[in-house]
Structure formats: structure tokens, C-alpha cells
Structure 1
Amino acid sequence: MELPSNYLEEMKELLGDQYEAYLASFEQKTRQGLRVNTAKIAPETFRQKADISLECVPWCENGFAFDEKQTVTKHPYYYAGLYYVQEPSAMIPASHLPVEPGDFVLDLCAAPGGKATELGAKLKGKGMLLANDISNSRAKGLLKNLELFGISNLFVSSEESDKLKKAYPAYFDKILIDAPCSGEGMFRRDKAMVKDWLQKGPDYYVPIQRKLLLDAADMLKKGGMLLYSTCTFSVKENEENIAYLLQERPDMELLMPEWDEYFSHGKKEGFENCIRIFPHLAPGEGHFAALLGKRTDGEEQSEKCLKKPAKSKKTPVSDLKDCPEFAVFMQQITKPLSGKTEVQKERIYLLPEGTKIERGIRYLRTGLYLGDQKKKRFEPSQALAMCLKAEDFKKSVSFKGDDERVIRYLKGETLDLSDTEAENEKGWVLVCVDGYGLGWGKAAGGILKNKYYAGWRMQS
């Protein structure tokens, strides 16, 4: 691969005697990875159930590498939202931001959802995740991935950071910025990134990154944490941006989490707490990360995780008196759901506790989309199905992973229920694979009419 000469000079200065080893890494194969959705299944249980050959990713306890010959995106468990396909180094940011259930979390540059799905899983249905991406088209893909993962306590927006700052000042406990960058760490994986770098190098991205950092700092609560990451090696885009943030926001400080032994520490004096990952030293592509905190009352933080604000009282899902069919349907869900229901035209949403819809923000989703109320009927959403397991709904049918009817269902076909536990059921049925929700069907006379969302169907 022909690399730009000025880039090579910078890497030679950055790496010193490791420079030749870095160049040699371009002759090695890149790695494919997947990250298990811990909101639905434990990593060890997944390894036992899935017929996929996996190798642990050392810096992510629910991350695994796999042979690229395996078509993991055609596996039924992928459609059940049990994992996300992600390059191993890209697992670093979300796995090292210490999100806890009940946090209010912002993923500022979230599409296509690799980090956001992990942040949402770590919340375990408590608190709130706002996943934002400035590109509306990319934000639509982000929404799909979050719903596939069964993340219920979510808002998805497509907005400029300064507009979000006005709507959410000092609002979030944790913020992730996986910033747009020159992509030097991806040169080995994607040759097209070299061409992009020549057109838009580090100098193009630095102003964008600095604006994101300042706006994010203003949206962070006192005592909150912000993780900044890029997939580039440039000191300009990394340590110098952190220095700029600390200068402009004196209440921010650089923290020192327990970084993995595979990581190389910062290359600028005073910024050793930042880390990089190099492909010649670790099983992944290039990445940078820095964890920062906002001081409380002008004093430095003494602990990684600070005291949480008081949690609001839980309120049950309302029955919506003008839609009795909704109430009847919700009685079949045995999994506890709490929050405030809101009707937008025909659609019914469940907003996370303690949240509200802010004016002027371009939202793609506000809360869990439960379904549509229509004339004397309620139709549940695909998003709701993805939040449920077989035991969470009174009428369900669960096929084994190797049952050919799973693939037929995912392709939108009608199914015969004559030899299943749902043979005599009538009405809405939750369709599952090995107990994990895939979507809805409507049963009558031993036949299941397929209601799997058309836009998600498996292609032949």
C-alpha cells in the first residue's frame, strides 16, 4: 500500500524504533469481531449456544474475534439482537466509559450504533440513552441497530451539537464522543481511507473535534465523565485536542482508568493517561481514547464513579383510556415496564423515567415505540418484540436455532404451528428463537400469519 510521505514521517516520529514493525503490520490480516449484547444474554451462555468459532478480545469482556469466513450476519441470533458485528479496537470506547444502570448517557456521534448499542446494554433498561448523529440517513441505521438490540430507554436524534447543548445543559452523567477523524488507524483495513486523508487530513477535522468537545463538556454534569475517542494516530486530533479542552474548560480533568496492557500511553508530556492501540502491538486496528471528568465544586474527583442523583419514582405504563385494546394487549406482557406513555398521532411510545421531549430537536425516536392504535385494534411494534423474551409474553412460540422455520419466518413466510406450544393460540404471538424475541405473528387455526417487519426481512 502506498502511504502519504508526510503521514509516514509523522508515524516515524510517533513510533521511533517500532516504526518498521508498524509498516510490517500492513502485510497481516485484519480481524473481524462481534460484541455480545449483555442486556439479553451472558457472553459465556452465548458461546455455548452459538455455533460460531470465537476468540476473546482481551480489552472487552463481551467482545470476540471470529474467522471472516463465517457469515455471522445470517445467523438467527443476529436477528434476535444477541450481538453486534464490530472491529475489535472499536469496542474500546464504550467498554471503557463506566456507564451504570440509571445514568443519563449521550453518544454524540453515534451512527451506525456500535458504541451506542453497548452503552444502552450497560444501562440495563434504567436511566436514558440519547444517541445522536448529525447525518439523518445514518441516524436511521443507528435507530434500527438500537431497536434490534432491544434498547427501550432511548432517544435518537439527528442534530448539531450546539443545538443539543442548548436543550440539555449539564444534563448527562456520561458522554461518549467517537469523533469524526482523518482515519489513520483504518488505513490497513480500508485503502479508501488513504484517499480521504489526502483530501481531508487532520487539519480539516481538528476544528470539528474541538467544537464537539466543548459542547459535550457543557452538557456534562458535575462529577460526570466524558470519553473522547478517534480511529486516528494524529497528535493534533488527539492529545492537542485534549489540551485545548482542558484550557478552555478548567473544570475538566484527564482521568486515569485501568487501561489494558495492550494499550500504548500518550505521546505528549502530561498526557500519558491517554492511550493508543497500534495494529503491530495488539489484535486490532488503530484507535485513541482519553477519559475525562468534570470536577465537583472546583475539586478534583477522588473516585471514578460519583454519587448518583436521586432516582424518580417508577410509574406503571398507563392504560390509555381512549385505546382499551392497548390495555388488553399490555396485560399479556409479564415483564415489568415503567415510564410515561405518550401518543403521537397513531403511535404509542414509552418515555424513560425523568425524561421529556425538548422543543426544536430533530428526533427520530423518543422512547420505546410500543405500537399503533387504530380503529378498535392495537398493533404492536417490532421494537417492542425485540425487548421481550418468550417468558415475557403470555402467547409465544419459540423455535430452535436450527429449525428451518426460523429462516422462513425471517423471510416473511406464513408458518404452520401444528406441532408447537402455540398450536391452539389465537391473536398476537411473540415469535422467538431459543427463547429470544424475533418479532410478531398473528395466530389462527394452527397457522401463523407473519408480522415480521418488512424492512428487516432476511434476503435470500
Structure 2
Amino acid sequence: MVDVDEVRDLPISGLAKQLDHDMEEWFLHTTKELPETLRINSLRADRDWTREQVEVMGAKALSWYPDGWAYTMPWLRGETPDEFRDLYIKLHETGRTTRQESASMLPVIALAPQKEEKILDMCASPGSKSTQLSEMMEDTGLVVANDVSSGRLNTLVTNRGRVSIANMMLTRHDGRHFPAVPDPGFDAVLVDAPCSGSGTLRKNKHVWWDWKESSGLSLRRLQLDILRRACALLKPDGRLVYSTCSFDPIENEGIINQILEENQDLELQKIDVESVFPGLKSRQGLSNWKTEKFNWNNDLLKRCIRIAPEDNDSSGFFLALLHLNSTEKTAKAMAPKFPISEMKVHDQPRQDARLPSPCSPELIDEVCKQWDIQESEKWSWWQRGKKIAISTPMARQWLWDSPRTLKRRSRLPGGHWHPINAIHAGTTAFQSGKSGMRPRSEAVPLLINQIHSKTKIEKPLMHRLLMGEEPLIEELEIPEMKNYTILYSEETDYLPIWAGQRLSLMVGDSERYILALQAGLQPDSSSSDKT
């Protein structure tokens, strides 16, 4: 909790006053911690069970979240009651829920992702919005989650695996220079831009003292350049959401006003808040703002959306929805400067061994035979060292196989990633070893309905395994048992194990805990996965 008297005269409080906030309400909310909020992973088969668990904890559904999959918990961030703490943490660790600030969920809903679309998340780390996109697209199409930092990409890798999704491609590029992609470009782009973070002061207390009037101005060029490139990668009739967690008009309406002046084909859309976000309290964008360096007056900017902390007990947020009304056939970044027939065609570039490449048909057959997978065409298959990943068909058909235009002057045949720096494709599903191809636990929720090579066991033995015992392999009474197999029972859909002299679980402690609860057991909650 922040002392109001310590922050009343700080520059950020002065900005709030300029923005016509009720200052007593402003201080009442911004000086206390945020409420805990989360999303339920709607892709999981046990999503209704998860919903029941969080509702027992006292969770209240956010009225504006589609199908009621997001909740506010009856406690503040970091203050989970002891009686719920273990289960609450494990639901997140196992990917059944994602803890995410409520205002941060709004941009993806405004973008309205559809099944089988190609969507770019330009500044994706830590990945909560990327996973939200994947879930709302029902794990179809392709989400290209990009970040410039390899360190932040590691966080994306963790979140992708935790949630178990196949339609995400991880790339590493400076958003200002994101390379050309195959025609016609992305159906939609999300730009959650780097910003001063003035809207996060409830979570990041240092912002109260660190923010100054020059904070937003110092980021303006970066924000504009990222947004310009995002617009250039958007296909005709595509949509784009620009968002920040900042109050500063220089970073918000000022950026949108500039991009509209530069692009006559861009239209700032009015979002019907009552239908898109039923029950959410929002404020119009600022049509005018005047400083020593900036002065704009544009009524269209009222179509932007501002979220005030005191209106929804949230952080501060800004978002704008843009639509590209272009008569061209492809995105601006790929639009040829002269007829394609006259362009130079380059040789196919050499493959980078550090990046994933398509699996051979023989390798796919080997995996499918070992695990009795009968619908291999459901995914595209990728190999990187000893690891095999699965992604959606679109990753192969569009981003790998398709020819592309370089710098609007020449063409590259398909069959590679270039110039995309594709770090990860889909999620890692199998790893080769002495005993063949072993499914990775992070991919089991994706694979379980496709793997037919499973072994049914009786409930008593399943219960012993779920409670942490390691029975002798003889107790299974199954001849020619594979070292790695997947067990199931009447009440437990899957349990990956390693069969040596004893049966050992191949899932983390948090997953075992959840499966045991679902089986009606009372597991020990003392341990937790490291995430």
C-alpha cells in the first residue's frame, strides 16, 4: 500500500489531474494492490472442473470476457488464502489457468481473433496475450509471437509449453524491422507497445517516483516505428490493435493521430463497448491535447478506449482498433514495385541447422507407428536435434512452403523460413531416446485424443501412482511393456509413466496433484513444479 501523502504531488498524479480523474477515487484505487484475476484455459478437456474449483474459491466471472472464462478472485495479488494457495498455484503451473491482469485481456478481445487466421503479436513477451490469442482461435491457424529479446523469448517458451498449444510460432526480431512474410500478409496484428508503464503503478510501485513528463516522449519514435511496420505487414481488410499500459496521451492518442495522418487507408474503428465488453466501464480517447511539442485536435480519436483504475478496479490501459481499407492484393511490405514476372528469383537459401525444419515422412511414420497416431496430417511436424515438435498445418503451408517477396524487388521460392528467424514452431511433442520416441509431458494434453497406444489399468493401481507410489512393474501384469507408456483408467484420462523395475510418473508434481484431486484423492501438496 502506498501512502497517499507521499505521492499526491508527484508528476504522475499531476498527469491524472490533467486527464480529469476524480483524484480522491484515483488515489483510493491506485495506492492499493490490484485484485487477483485469471483466465481459464478453454482448450483443456477438464476446463469445467477448473471452473468449479475457482468458483469454490469465491471467484466472480468478468462480465465482459467471452463465455465467462476469466475471473476476479476475492483477494488481492500476492494474498492468496492459505486454504487455496496450493491448488491455486498448481492450476497455473499446469496451464489450466493463466494469472493475468484484467485490463491486459482487453486488446485480444478487441482484435476478435478467428479460427484459422494468421496473427502477429509484435511485442509478445511474457506471452499472456499470445496464449490468449491461441485459446480464442481454438489452437488453429497461426499465432506468430515475436520479441526482440532472447531472454524474454525464454519466458514465452515456458508459457507456450505450460498452456500446451500447437498454433504458436516464436520469432526473434526487432519489431521495427520485422521481415516480409508470404502474401497476402497477416489477417490481424497486435501491437502491445513498449511504453512508460504509467498505468501499472498499482503493480510496479516504483513507477510513482520514476515517471516524468519526458518518459513517454522518449519512447515515441520507437512506438511509431513499431506501429508503422505492423501496418505494413497487415493484409488488405486486416485489423490491428494498438495498446499500452500507459496514461500518457503522447504514447496513446498522439501515436494513433500520427499513424492516421500517414496512412489514408487506415480507419480508426469505433468499438461498441456495450456489446464487445458488456459491463466494462471505459472512457473515450482524448480528441485534443496540447503541450510544448504536440498539439492535436481530432474528434476521431474519441473512438480510442481508455481504462481508468478507479472505474473497474484495474490497472490503467489504452487501446485502439484500426482497419486497413486497401484495394491492394497484398500487404504494403510485400507489394511488388514491378510485375512479379520481371523479378529476379533467388536460389533457395541454405537451411540454418539451429532452427526447426520439417520432419521427413519416414520419421513421422516412425512416431505414428510407435504411438498408433492415425491422423498425422492434423499437424505439421518439425525436428530440431532430438526433439520433434507439432504445429498447425498453416505453419508449414504458409510460412514455410510459400514463396515470398524480398524488399519488394525480388522473389524467394518456398521451402524455408528465411527471412524469418523462427526460433520455435509449435510445441515440443516427442524426444528421441534409446527406447524410441518419448512424448513430452507438455504436449500430452494435445496428443491424448490422437494417441491410441495406451494401457488401461484398474483404479486401485492408478490411485497408488497418483499418490506418489512407485509399484513394481510386475503388478501391471502386461507382457512386453514399453519403457515409456501412457496409462488410463475409468476416471483418469492419461498418466505418462516410465516402466523400469518400478513404475515412475513422467509428469510434474503439480500435474500429479491435480490428477489425484480429480480422482477424488487427497494428495500431499508440499511440492510444486518450478516454473
Task: Pick the TM interval, shorter chain.
Answer: 0.7 to 0.9
Report the AA paired with residue 415 of structure 1: E
Specify the alignment match of 2:426 in structure 1: 367
Greater shift, 366-375 or 244-253, is seen at: 366-375
The structural deviation recorded for 1:336 is 6.6
Specify the alignment match of 2:242 in structure 1: 228
Higher helix fraction (1 or 2): 2
Q: How many Å separate the matches in 2 of 1:366 and 1:397?
A: 32
Report the AA paired with residue 448 of structure 1: L
The structural deviation recorded for 1:226 is 0.7
Distance 1:231 1:99, change over 3 A: same
Distance 1:162 1:207, change over 3 A: closer
Instruction: Verify: 1:382 aligned to 2:437, yes or no.
Output: no
Instruction: Verify: 1:31 aligned to 2:32, yes or no.
Output: no
Asked whether the 8 Å contact 2:371–2:451 carries over to 1, the reply is no
Specify the alignment match of 1:441 in structure 2: 497
Structure 2 SS opposite 1:222: strand
Specify the alignment match of 2:85 in structure 1: 71
* Aligned match for 2:285, one of 266, 270, 275: 266
Q: How many Å separate the matches in 2 of 1:195 and 1:404?
A: 55
Q: Which 5+ residue runs of structure 2 have no aligned equivalent?
A: 288-298, 329-357, 401-415, 512-527
* Aligned match for 1:295, one of 309, 321, 325: 325
Distance 1:263 1:327, change over 3 A: same
Report the AA paired with residue 345 of structure 1: G
Distance 1:195 1:390, change over 3 A: farther
Report the AA paired with residue 504 of structure 2: K
Q: How many Å separate the matches in 2 of 1:39 and 1:264?
A: 33
Q: Which has the larger radius of gyration?
A: 2
Asked whether the 8 Å contact 2:41–2:98 carries over to 1, the reply is yes
Greater shift, 160-169 or 285-294, is seen at: 160-169
Specify the alignment match of 2:58 in structure 1: 53
Structure 2 SS opposite 1:229: strand
Greater shift, 105-114 or 255-264, is seen at: 255-264
Structure 2 SS opposite 1:233: coil
Distance 1:44 1:351, change over 3 A: closer
Specify the alignment match of 2:170 in structure 1: 156
Asked whether the 8 Å contact 1:352–1:367 carries over to 2, the reply is yes
The structural deviation recorded for 1:227 is 0.9
Report the AA paired with residue 241 of structure 1: I
Q: How many percent of aligned residue pairs carry the same amino acid?
A: 22
Report the AA paired with residue 13 of structure 1: Q
Instruction: Verify: 1:109 aligned to 2:123, yes or no.
Output: yes
Distance 1:339 1:27, change over 3 A: closer
Q: Which 5+ residue runs of structure 1 have no aligned equivalent?
A: 299-316, 409-413
Aligned residues: 431
Structure 1 SS opposite 2:179: helix
Distance 1:416 1:178, change over 3 A: farther
Instruction: Verify: 1:184 aligned to 2:198, yes or no.
Output: yes
Report the AA paired with residue 151 of structure 1: I
Specify the alignment match of 1:451 in structure 2: 506
Specify the alignment match of 1:206 in structure 2: 220
Distance 1:121 1:12, change over 3 A: same
Q: How many Å separate the matches in 1 of 2:464 and 2:303?
A: 51
Within 5 A, what are the aligned runs for 1:311-460? 320-321=361-362, 325-331=366-372, 333=373, 338-353=378-393, 354=397, 355-356=399-400, 357-374=416-433, 377-389=436-448, 393-395=452-454, 408=468, 415-416=470-471, 424=478, 426-430=482-486, 440-443=496-499, 447-452=502-507, 458=529
Q: How many Å separate the matches in 2 of 1:375 and 1:231?
A: 49
Distance 1:151 1:351, change over 3 A: closer
Distance 1:270 1:322, change over 3 A: closer
Asked whether the 8 Å contact 1:426–1:444 carries over to 2, the reply is no
Report the AA paired with residue 370 of structure 2: F
TM-score by length of 1: 0.81
**RMSD between superposed Cα atoms in Å:** 3.6
Asked whether the 8 Å contact 1:417–1:423 carries over to 2, the reply is no
Structure 2 SS opposite 1:175: strand
Structure 2 SS opposite 1:81: coil
Asked whether the 8 Å contact 1:94–1:118 carries over to 2, the reply is yes
Asked whether the 8 Å contact 2:40–2:51 carries over to 1, the reply is no
The structural deviation recorded for 1:82 is 1.3
Q: How many Å separate the matches in 2 of 1:240 and 1:404?
A: 62
Specify the alignment match of 1:411 in structure 2: none
Greater shift, 371-380 or 449-458, is seen at: 449-458
Q: How many Å separate the matches in 1 of 2:466 and 2:121?
A: 33
Structure 2 SS opposite 1:201: helix
Q: How many Å separate the matches in 1 of 2:493 and 2:455?
A: 10
* Aligned match for 1:6, one of 8, 11, 16: 11
